[in-house]
Amino acid sequence: MFTGCLKPSLPFMIQKIKPNLVLTVGVATLLVGGGIAAYYGLVSRKFLEGVPLGANVVPQEAMVAVSLSTNGQQWDKLNQYGTVQSQAALQDILKNWQNRVFTDNGYDYQQDIQPWIGQEVMIASLPNSSLISGTAPTPDASTTLNQQAMVMVFPIANPTKAKELLSRPRTPQQGQTTQRSYRGVDIIETQGNPKQNYSISVLGQDFLVITTDGSTTERVIDTYRGSDSLAKTPGYAASLEKIKTPNPFAQVYLNIPVATKIASYRSPNPIPDKNLEQVQQHQGLATNINLETQGVGLKSVSWLKPNSQKKFTVENKAQEILRRIPENTLMMVSGSNLKRVWEDYTQGANANPIAPLNPQVLSSSFKSATGMELEKDVLNWMGGEFSLSLVPANPNPRALERFTAGLVLMVKVFDRSAADKALTQLDEVMKNKKFKVSEIKVKEQSAVQWVSPFGGFMVTRGWLESDVAFVTLGGAVADQIVPLPQAQITANPLFQQTVPMGLNPNNGNFFINLERVFNPNVRTLSLPQLPPGQKLWIDAIQSIGLTTAIISDRTSRYDIFVKIKTPSPQLPATATPKKEP
């Protein structure tokens, strides 16, 4: 730990910026020159409430905007999370930021910045305005258009202190500044290294704004003078109200239409216009991040444009399936309707150049392997709630198990006859591929088992009830779910502590026990060794939980919790505390 140092909110925002003394002279010039004291004699304006203050001057076309608390106690709390190793790594990062941004330039955050800054600061990424207008980049202009401009908005809570502290003379070591005016606002710009050019302006008594591009500063000034701001984005304020929490550590906004358009322009395979139009019906995704006793909580909301033809199907029926998932499950995901989940994913993946799974490839591969249509012959009858879980196999010293865990799919079907027909057809396909297909008993209940001709790989399928089918792959775990598990996952203390249950009814859950999944001493999965840089942060997380809900035909909600370990002074750094508070 280090004391008396910069609270990391500001350096986090400007980690890609390397200001020099020229920048500080520019700020002082604006302040002394009356930027704060007498900007046309204006007093502080009335801004929209219920949104981050900086959102009132960030242009509406911003792709991403992050508002961070300047409360030192919140950052102190963040520093208490994780293992001894992850804490030390975080402190090193923050210390480097502190030296680069403030100490090397003669400033101290607590003495020079904290006395005047507001309760939060905002950083936003603005794409080139040509891309926003829908102009596709030409090959010779693509490099320029792909560049993102950074905007940093520092609300001024105490104008007098800001003028007093930031106007102290500083002597620049290198570079030079120029001054110009735009719409009555003075702008100081640095010149020299293109990677270290900045544009600084003071808006009334309200904001100090730093950008990486002069034209971007003009866009911010236009917004301050009345152009559309992030705060005026349709549904933005109302959506933030749905996830309102006291004193959030951070608030994040993603402009889905802009982000998708930029991703398409940057992709070697641009999104077809028809698919792009589908995604353009979405408006945004907003998240409130809170630092809680045992970890980090995130409340998120996504919403559609008010005039969108697309609408969500309000279907929150994923509670019943949880009673069928064993308590020792390492990872699970559940939902209300598997058929609809696949349809929604397919539609989204077609407009996502970085989608992890290509639905067309999977469908064609399934047809090539089985001669069956995935959507028509299989998913068409999977219209009920479902779960996909990773369950440890029970140790069997008499059996040579190649798989120490099994993947379990359980799904409620709407057409039993269609399901039986498809499953029987799959049995025949497996027989033709030299799998051993036989009927077995699992706790006196009939099931069908496929065993690969090379041994080891095994699939078991059957019925838990007349309308609930199950399929297991890998390790022998069917006996843990038939007819019901002895203990349900909802009885697992870690599940209870991790998965948010405030959204009830809900559309589905996700849970992963990272401590078990990535523990090399637990032979559950044969995962490759993580690089040290990644392992350090994974080791600091115990589990992750997610709950989703569709709350209207245009709004969906997500609650996430990341349960983080805390080091115990009585235990080695690599050990897990016996009991958490």
Buried b (16+ CB within 10 A) or exposed e, 49-61: eebbbbbbbbbbb
Check if the beta carbon of residue 413 is closer than 8 Å to that of residue 461.
no
In whole angstroms, what is the distance from residue 514 CA to residue 520 CA? 11
Query: What percentage of the chain exceeds 70 in pLDDT?
Result: 80
Average pLDDT in the 474-503 region? 96
In whole angstroms, what is the distance from residue 439 CA to residue 462 CA? 10
In whole angstroms, what is the distance from residue 576 CA to residue 83 CA? 9
Confidence of residue 19 (pLDDT cuts 50, 70, 90): very low
Q: Is the pLDDT of residue 40 over 80?
A: no
Confidence of residue 105 (pLDDT cuts 50, 70, 90): low
Q: Is the pLDDT of residue 43 over 50?
A: no
In whole angstroms, what is the distance from residue 46 CA to residue 29 CA? 26
List the single range of 236-250, 392-406, 433-447, 480-494 with lowest mean pLDDT.
Answer: 392-406
Burial of 356 (0-12, 13-18, 19+ CB in 10 A): exposed
User: Which tops the pLDDT comparison, 49 or 341?
Assistant: 341
Backbone angles phi, psi at 312, to 5 degrees: -80, 150
User: Which tops the pLDDT comparison, 309 or 272?
Assistant: 309
In whole angstroms, what is the distance from residue 518 CA to residue 105 CA? 43
Beta strands in 305-444 (DSSP E): 331-335, 386-392, 405-412, 436-442
Check if the beta carbon of residue 254 is closer than 8 Å to that of residue 284.
yes
Evaluate the omega torsion of the peptide bond into residue 505 and state whether it is cis, within 30 degrees of 0.
yes
pLDDT for 14 equals 36
* Residues in a beta bridge with 287: 252, 300
Average pLDDT in the 127-156 region? 71
Q: Is the pLDDT of residue 190 over 60?
A: yes
List the single range of 28-37, 69-78, 479-488 with lowest mean pLDDT.
Answer: 28-37
| Amino acid in position 573 | A
Average pLDDT in the 41-56 region? 74
Average pLDDT in the 540-556 region? 96
Average pLDDT in the 168-190 region? 75
Burial of 133 (0-12, 13-18, 19+ CB in 10 A): exposed
List the single range of 96-100, 209-213, 302-306 with lowest mean pLDDT.
Answer: 96-100
Burial of 351 (0-12, 13-18, 19+ CB in 10 A): buried
Q: Is the pLDDT of residue 89 over 80?
A: yes
Evaluate the omega torsion of the peptide bond into residue 59 and state whether it is cis, within 30 degrees of 0.
no
Confidence of residue 274 (pLDDT cuts 50, 70, 90): confident
Whole-number mean pLDDT of the chain? 83
User: Which tops the pLDDT comparison, 373 or 29?
Assistant: 373
Can you tell me whether residue 138 is helix, strand or coil?
coil
For helices 416-432 and 359-370, what crossing angle results, to 10°? 70
Check if the beta carbon of residue 390 is closer than 8 Å to that of residue 330.
yes
Longest dimension (CA), the chain: 87
Q: Which residues have CB under 8 Å from 197's CB, separation 6+?
A: 189, 190, 191, 212
In whole angstroms, what is the distance from residue 54 CA to residue 168 CA? 26
Tell me the CB-side half-sphere exposure of residue 570, using CA atoms within 13 A.
Answer: 3
In whole angstroms, what is the distance from residue 180 CA to residue 211 CA? 15
Average pLDDT in the 529-553 region? 91
Task: Give the H/E segment covering residue 551.
Answer: strand 541-552
Confidence of residue 176 (pLDDT cuts 50, 70, 90): confident
Burial of 271 (0-12, 13-18, 19+ CB in 10 A): buried
Check if the beta carbon of residue 17 is closer than 8 Å to that of residue 200.
no
User: Which tops the pLDDT comparison, 27 or 152?
Assistant: 152
pLDDT tens digits for 355-382? 788 899 999 999 999 999 999 999 999 9
Check if the beta carbon of residue 267 is closer than 8 Å to that of residue 294.
no
Residue identified by tokens 């002069």 is: 214
Average pLDDT in the 261-272 region? 81
Average pLDDT in the 192-199 region? 67
pLDDT for 399 equals 53
Parallel, antiparallel, or unpaired for β 458-465 and 468-474?
antiparallel
A 10 A CB-CB count for 108 gives: 15
For 520, the token pair is 């090399």
pTM of the model: 0.86
Burial of 299 (0-12, 13-18, 19+ CB in 10 A): buried
Can you tell me whether residue 215 is helix, strand or coil?
helix
Evaluate the omega torsion of the peptide bond into residue 306 and state whether it is cis, within 30 degrees of 0.
no
In whole angstroms, what is the distance from residue 353 CA to residue 265 CA? 10
Among 305, 506, 481, 494, smallest CA distance to 409 is for: 481
User: Cα 469 from chain centroid?
Assistant: 32
Confidence of residue 44 (pLDDT cuts 50, 70, 90): very low
Q: Is the pLDDT of residue 172 over 50?
A: no
Can you tell me whether residue 438 is helix, strand or coil?
strand
Residue identified by tokens 């068409």 is: 380
User: Which tops the pLDDT comparison, 141 or 190?
Assistant: 190
Confidence of residue 568 (pLDDT cuts 50, 70, 90): low
**In sequence order, which ranges of 225-270 are alpha helices (DSSP H)?**
236-242, 256-266
- Helix/strand/coil (H/E/C) assignment for every residue in 145-175: HHCCEEEEEEEECCHHHHHHHHCCCCCCCCC
Check if the beta carbon of residue 406 is closer than 8 Å to that of residue 473.
yes
Backbone angles phi, psi at 563, to 5 degrees: -85, 120
pLDDT for 281 equals 92
Question: Domain coordinates of the chain in residue numbers?
Answer: 71-118+149-227, 312-337+383-544
pLDDT tens digits for 217-250? 999 999 999 999 999 999 999 999 999 999 999 9
In whole angstroms, what is the distance from residue 478 CA to residue 462 CA? 9
* Residues in a beta bridge with 474: 406
A 10 A CB-CB count for 247 gives: 12
Average pLDDT in the 300-327 region? 95
Q: Is the pLDDT of residue 174 over 70?
A: no
Confidence of residue 569 (pLDDT cuts 50, 70, 90): low
For 361, the token pair is 């490839």
Q: How big is the chain by its Cα radius of gyration, in Å?
A: 28
Tell me how many degrees the CA angle 35-36-39 measures, rounded to the nearest 5.
60
pLDDT for 134 equals 59
